[in-house]
Copies of this chain bind each other. A is one copy, B any other.
C-alpha cells in the first residue's frame, strides 16, 4: 500500500488531508479514486490505514480506517554526520542511510572537504536532501522521516555532541591497524532508547587536529572492517552493522 507522510496540522480527529506534491502523486501518478486506501504517517511515528474520501486539485481528503501497530525504527537513534564530498555523494548517503534506519543527518564541513557550501548553496542542498529523505522513508516504510540539520563546522559539532549517549568517528588509520573489535565493543554496550552521533570523514580523511579534538570530546575511533571504504560506503557499513547487531543478532 502506498505511504505518505502527513504533517501534524493536517490531522483532525479521524480526518486527514494531504497537500502539496503528494496530491499530484495520488491523483495523477497513482490515479487513485475515492474508497482507495493508503497509509498515512503522523510525525509522531504512528501510522494509519486511511480511505480516500475525495481527490481535489489542491488536496486529498481521507478518513482513518485503523491505526497500525508497526515499528521499523532502529532501537537506537543514530545521527549521521557526513563530511561534504564531491558529486551526489551526500544524496546517496541520505537515500540509502534512510533505508538503513538513520534518524538524522548533519552535513559536515570537514577541514579537508574539497567542496564548500555558502549560505545560498546550503539552503538549496538541504531542501533537496529533505525531499530525498521523505521519498526514501515512504518507499522503505519508515515510521519517521529523518531530519536534515544545518551544515556544521567542528565547533558546532563538538557542541551538538554533548546531547548524545555515544559518539564515534570512522578513522581510516584504524582499518590499517590490527586493533579491531573497536566498533563491536561499542555497539555491544548500546541499549534501546540511547543515541549515537557518528562522524564520517571526507575523501582525504580527518586532519590531525580534527582527530585530536574529536578524541578529547569523547568520540571513539572505530574501524569499519579491514578494507578502505569510500566516504559514501562507510556510513552504509556502519548503519547495516548496527542494524544487524541490534535487530538481527541480539
A-side residues, CB < 8 A to B, are 72, 96, 99-101, 139-142, 180-181, 183-184, 223, 225-230, 233, 236-237, 240-241, 243-245, 247-249
Contacts and interface: CB of A to CB of B under 8 A. Distances in A.
Contacts of A227: 72, 99-101, 140-142
25 contacts: A72-B226, A96-B230, A96-B236, A99-B227, A99-B228, A99-B229, A99-B230, A101-B225, A139-B228, A140-B228, A140-B230, A141-B227, A142-B227, A181-B248, A183-B248, A225-B243, A225-B244, A233-B236, A236-B240, A237-B244, A241-B241, A241-B248, A244-B244, A244-B245, A245-B249
Given A100-B233, A180-B248, 20 more contacts: A96-B233, A99-B230, A99-B233, A101-B225, A101-B227, A139-B230, A140-B229, A141-B228, A142-B227, A225-B247, A225-B248, A226-B247, A236-B236, A236-B237, A237-B244, A240-B240, A240-B241, A240-B244, A241-B248, A244-B245
Which of A72, A183, A225 gathers most chain B CB within 10 Å? A225
A183 B244 CA distance: 9
A247 to B, nearest CB: 5
Tally of this chain's copies: 2
A230 B96 CA distance: 8
Contacts of A99: 227-230, 233
3 closest A-B pairs (Cβ-Cβ)? A240-B240, A241-B244, A184-B249
A100 B241 contact: no
Which residue among A141, A142, A223 has the maximum number of chain B CB atoms within 10 Å of its CB?
A141
A227 B75 CA distance: 13
Contacts of A181: 248-249
Contacts of A140: 227-230
Nearest to A236: B236
Contacts of A233: 96, 99-100, 236
A184 B139 contact: no
A142 B226 CA distance: 10
A180 B247 CA distance: 8
A241 B247 CA distance: 11
Contacts of A249: 181, 184, 245
B141 A244 contact: no
